[in-house]
Structure 1
Amino acid sequence: MDPYHASSTVTTPARAESPDAEAITPLPERQPNPFLSYSNSPYASNLQSARGSSTGVNSLRPRYFQSRRINKAEVERPWLDKKNRDPREKWVWILPLIGLGLGIAMAGFLVYDGLKTVTSHVYCPVLDADFTAGATLDPKIWQQEIETGGFGNGQFEITTDDGENAFVKDGLLQIHPTLQDSKLIDTNNVINLTSSHQCTSPVVSNCVAATNTTNGTIVNPVKSARINTSPGAKIKYGRVEVVAQLPAGDWLWPAIWMLPVNETYGPWPASGEIDIMESRGNNYSYPDGGNNIVGSTLHYGPDPADDGWWTNVVKRHAMLTTYSAGYHTFGVEWSEKYIFTYIDTRLLQVIYTEFNVPFWNRGQFPPSNQNGTRLVNPWTGPGTSDATPFDQDFYLIINVAVGANNGWFPDGVASKPWVDKSLTAARDFWNAQDQWYPTWQAGGATMNIKSVKMWQQKGYNGC
């Protein structure tokens, strides 16, 4: 029997056989359970009838609360009550719509303002190399530079053309640095590229290197490659796109850049330099940016000590990855009115420079150089413009450098194993190979290039 619903008094017959039998105390009356309801009648009446009938107890059937459908007419709809509506409620909708409209208008203006400075030019193809047709670089288009000089930056590599450091494989152009022959470093030796007529630099000092075990100088401790399109591809205004995967490894310096065919306005940097992409092979933890950052720069100035690069340099971070993890398109678009570099799409610009101010004014050069010699504007005279010196034919260069003594890798940062001004910088770098060479092996240390394309803007160079 359910003790909750039984009668509140229980009667027990007297025990005749035992005069000392105890009287049994009745059970206390149970309180109604407020969480039960009954289907036949309200709770109180059911309970009362159950107490008066033995069958009523069994007929009670408890059930739990159930939801009830609300009549649509009973639902309050204050937004339809025009008579009692607060007139201020309309601003709850109007203000967000105004903000949305202003946002769309502002976005449209920014897109228009960005596109109006970029003209859709007509181009003629100059170079379309995808490296799938052959196993070698076409010498009619490409030159493999051979020198020891490090292009004035004190780089540690010697550039070769022996097929070890630049080669075509599996449809890719690969630039891969390797270690120098230790015999050339451990004993007195001389590398003289002029004697074999191999050197591609007109500067003799860029063609000779020596190991002197007495003073600690050594030949270039690393071999790598630098290739350019000077034999067969140049443009004056146009576009360049290089699809490449950058190398990973400490103290590597990959670059895609352009130099003028002729030094029309004087030696570097007076005739300009266009750096489409520069990076470092160190990982993302490198303070100045490793292979997770690339930069673009314009170099120009009356002499090497007075270079206005700092007015046109921008870095771009990779999005949750590195530029060594996959392939990216590194490009430049250049016209008589502007120049900009970009990554993957023309909408993701790195630098944008409009040719609306003479570069002499843009560079804010001092009256004289460090030696007290008066600086003279090299970009004046007939035919010059606000685009000068970037108004002449340029060719493309792709290379992987190693180290430097020009500050690209600052002293004392990330356990750098050499000091720029040290006469034994190259040997110090070589002696620390147990630190950096494993990072080359782990990362691949190779720049893989899928394609190189160049276009000439119509109206120039016979286009």
Structure 2
Amino acid sequence: MYLFSTKQQAPTGATTAAQPGNAGNDTEGHRLSTISQNPFRTPPFATPIPSIRSGRPISTATSLNNGQPRRRFQSSRLNGEMEKPWLHSAKKSMNWDSIIFYTAVSVALMISAYICYDAVKDVPKNDYCLIMDDKFENLDNWSHEVQMNGFGTGSFDWTTDDAANSYVDSDGLHIVPTLTTQSTDITYGQLMNGYTVNLTTDGTCTDRDQRTSELVTSNPCSAVSNSTKGTMINPVRSARLTTAGKKTIRYGRVQVEAKLPAGDWLWPAIWMMPQDNVYGDWPRSGEIDICESRGNDAETYPLGSNIVSSAMHWGTTYSNDAYQKSYGEWGAKRTKYSDGFHTYGLEWSSKYMFTWLDGRLRQVVYFDFTKNKNMWTYGEFAYDTVNGTAPTDPWSWTGRANSPFDQDFYLILNVAVGSTNGYFPDGVGNKPWTDGSESPMKDFYLANSTWLPTWGSGDSRGMVVKSVKMWQEGSC
């Protein structure tokens, strides 16, 4: 037990409650006497505390409110009813901000609805009859074109009906380029000098060359190797399949699902040519390119496998082909069309023609025949001369604005190799030949160590076509 002193020292000048003459300070005296009687009770304010404002000690007998009771906190919230004079006003102000906003929104919606309606009402609602749905269980719908002169493009491949260059399996149709020395008995020495291939003698040449041009400088059915002249047997064999004489359309739709080939200087194409040259040799009777591309890797070649193009070819001679007036291309930033399957399509009528990629909304080329009097005036051929001679109009006599694209066309699938017509521009991507060289095919072949490894091997080489559909416009 601890002992506490019960005697407290009074402040100087002050008297204790026990002393006479202190009757006016009963409260103070009573508190101190109580404390003296119970030393274990700690009195409030027994220790002087500083003044809140001045910092000076205050007496234990002095309250924080100078002895007055603390005032209760009064809320500043309005009590009772609040006057709202605007509710009793006879004239209310207009909210112009809301009126302008909602009016503008309503007008925008009406304009948008009209634009959609105007666009949809003009969309053709043609009937179509499916005439071919080929998933390549066989090649009954197709024929091979066998030639050696590049079909007017100056390409270096020899198109064959060899099973090494075209075959079907569970993936579809494969069109595969191979080296001639690997798929025939022709040796390297024979390829370069002193050997003749005659497809007429073999009975295999199809000789359906519709591209009569300055580039057709050799016989489509034969080739001769001569080291002195710089000529050689075509160093690569490939394939070109067509539906000519079997499946044609005059207006309608085409849809081809294919994986394009990878490899330097490969030229895959999905395109159409006229069944009959009603208006004359190429390009008078027209050509429709649904899809063309280059196999060169897009990461190293600026015109490579990430670009597909479409075009319509028409003109009076090779030199005034007006395809640039109806040409378009689609370039992808993160897609190589040799990496997977894509769908390439055509829709064609007497009023319009357009090609598309992976959907009708992604159009590559759109051509409206109704916006021009005819293809002669649109091509402005009357202002050109060919070898000093004005060309003659081959189409206007029909009275149709879309001639020559008013005849039956058949479909072609092929993989060409190289060319001398400018499709692979000189000086781009370390091209190993020049179009004007005296021996472009030889220059190309001697650089095979640079391009052959890029072609792949086995079933991964070449173009793979999974399916082909063709519709004729009109009911079945």
**TM-score range relative to shorter protein:** 0.7 to 0.9
Who is 1:172 aligned against? 172
The residue aligned with 1:263 is 277
In the TM superposition, what whole-angstrom CA distance separates every residue of 1:173-220 from its partner, at most 9, and x where no partner exists? Answer: 111111121534244211111111111115681111121122221111
User: Is residue 2:377 matched to residue 1:361?
Assistant: yes
Alignment partner, residue 132 of structure 2: 127
For 1:395 and 1:409, how far apart are their aligned partners in 2?
26
Report if the CA contact (8 A) 1:238-1:454 is conserved: yes
Shift of 1:351: 1.0
Match of 2:195 in 1: 189
Does residue 297 of the first structure (1) align with residue 299 of the second (2)?
no
Which structure 2 residues correspond to residues 158-307 of structure 1 after superposition, within 5 A?
A: 158-181=158-181, 182-183=187-188, 184-202=190-208, 205-285=219-299, 289-307=303-321
Is the Cα contact below 8 Å between 2:145 and 2:208 reproduced in 1?
no
- Contact 2:192–2:231 (8 Å) recurs in 1: no
User: Is the Cα–Cα contact under 8 Å of residues 243 and 328 in structure 1 kept in the other structure?
Assistant: yes
Distance 1:362 1:258 in 2: 22
Shift in Å at residue 434 of structure 1?
1.0
Counterpart in the other structure of 1:19:
none
Moved segments of 4+, more than 3 Å:
87-102, 104-118, 285-288, 442-445
Q: Distance between the aligned counterparts of 1:100 and 1:211, measured in 2?
A: 77
Q: What is the SS of the residue equivalent to 2:381?
A: coil
Amino acid at match of 1:321: T
Q: Give the fraction of aligned pairs with identical amino acids, expressed as a percent.
A: 43
Q: What is the DSSP-based 3-state SS (H/G/I as helix, E as strand, rest coil) of the residue aligned with 2:253? A: strand
- Bigger CA drift: 203-212 or 343-352? 203-212
What is the distance in 2 between the residues matched to 1:113 and 1:430? 56
Does the Cα contact within 8 Å between 1:240 and 1:333 map onto a contact in 2?
A: yes
Is contact 2:432–2:447 with CA below 8 Å preserved after alignment?
A: yes
Contact (CA 8 Å) 1:270, 1:378: kept in 2 or not? yes
Partner of 2:65: none
CA distance in 2 between partners of 1:166 and 1:109 (Å)? 52
Q: Paired residue for 1:434?
A: 449
CA distance in 2: counterparts of 1:413 and 1:313, whole angstroms: 21
The CA RMSD over aligned residues, in Å, is 3.4
Distance change in 2, residues 1:331/1:217 (3 Å) = same
In structure 2, the CA distance between the partners of 1:275 and 1:112, relative to structure 1 (3 Å rule), is farther
Shift of the 97–330 alpha-carbon distance from structure 1 to 2, 3 Å rule, reads farther
The one-letter code sitting in structure 2 at the alignment partner of 1:362 is Y
Q: Could you tell me how far apart the structure 1 residues matched to 2:175 and 2:233 are?
A: 21
- Larger Rg belongs to: 2
Change (3 A) 1:438 1:100: farther
User: Do residues 370 (structure 1) and 386 (structure 2) align?
Assistant: yes
Q: Partners in 2 of 1:93 and 1:282 — Cα distance?
A: 60
- C-alpha distance 147-96 of structure 1, shift in aligned 2 (>3 A): farther
Residue in structure 1 matched with residue 46 of structure 2 by the alignment: none
Measure, in 2, the Cα distance between the counterparts of 1:185 and 1:82.
Answer: 103
State the match for 2:355 in structure 1: 341
Secondary structure at 1:218 match in 2: coil
| TM-score between the two structures when normalised by the length of structure 2 | 0.73
2:143 maps to amino acid: Q
Match of residue 399, structure 1, among 414, 417, 442: 414
User: Which runs of 5 or more residues in structure 2 are unaligned?
Assistant: 1-49, 61-76, 79-85, 182-186, 210-217
Which of 410, 418, 424 is matched with 2:439 structurally? Answer: 424
What SS does structure 2 have at the residue aligned with 1:255?
strand
* Cα distance change of structure 1 residues 117 and 248 upon mapping to structure 2, 3 Å threshold: farther
- Alignment TM-score, normalising by the size of structure 1: 0.75
- Judged with a 3 Å threshold, the aligned counterparts in structure 2 of structure 1 residues 202 and 225 are, in CA distance, closer, same or farther, namely closer
In structure 2, the CA distance between the partners of 1:342 and 1:52, relative to structure 1 (3 Å rule), is farther
